[in-house]
Amino acid sequence: MAAQVRVRRAGREELERAYSIRLRVFVREQGVRREIELDGDDRSATHLVAELGGQIVGTARVVIKRDQAKIGRMAVLRRYRGKGVGKELLKRAVALAKRRGAKGIFLHAQVPVIPFYEKMGFHCVGRVFLEAGIPHRKMVVYGVRGRKCGVGGPNGNRTRVTDVRGRCPNR
């Protein structure tokens, strides 16, 4: 039986491990400048860590400003990718944002991993943009408020959803 992924809020000592994972993934692997990766939002964010086989192998953060939650800095060590770590981190981050009363939840996804976020219920909005020199798209999860609108959600599907402000995205 495969080991189970456990996600929890990072304690003070685990925060250093979370930063270490982010530096390895974003700075070493992807060439992001360190001063961009570790930023002022880290102080106000809620940081999550994912544990697999007794080791912390992934991290994410949730930053809430006004009533909007931004999920970001999702990073999983290379050898643990594809094992459900990112999925569990994202589920927990979304649940945390909802518990904290966010009326909208969004993230900036690197273009190659957009399909992962789409499988998790996020939808692209806007155009591709560069963040830290890497192509991204803003993605939102609809229906955070639980309100419904007319049939015909994003991408022509037959769902009933609202956007992050409670409006129908197709009107």
Q: Is the distance from CB of 41 to CB of 31 less than 8 angstroms?
A: no
pLDDT bucket at 3, cuts 50 / 70 / 90: confident
Share of the chain above pLDDT 90, in %: 77
Q: What's the confidence (pLDDT) of residue 161?
A: 38
**Residue range 58-80: average pLDDT?**
96
The contacts of residue 166 (CB under 8 Å, 6+ apart) are 103, 145, 147
Q: What number is the average pLDDT over the span 24-46? A: 94
Q: 117 pLDDT band (50/70/90 cuts)?
A: very high
Q: State yes or no: pLDDT of 149 exceeds 50.
A: no
pLDDT in tens, 121-142: 999 999 999 999 999 999 999 8
Select from 3.40.50.300, 3.40.50.450, 3.50.50.60, 3.40.630.30 the CATH code of 1-102.
3.40.630.30
Residue 39 has pLDDT above 50, yes or no: yes
Nearest Cα to 108, choosing from 84, 132, 89? 132
Q: Which two tokens stand for residue 116?
A: 């992962």
Taking residue 65's Cβ as centre, other Cβ atoms within 10 Å add up to: 10
Reply yes or no on whether the pLDDT at 150 is more than 70.
Answer: no
Mean pLDDT for the stretch of residues 107-113: 97
* pLDDT value of residue 142: 81
Does pTM surpass 0.85?
Answer: no
Amino acid sitting at position 103? K
Is residue 155 pLDDT above 50, yes or no? no
- Quick check: 31 pLDDT over 80? yes
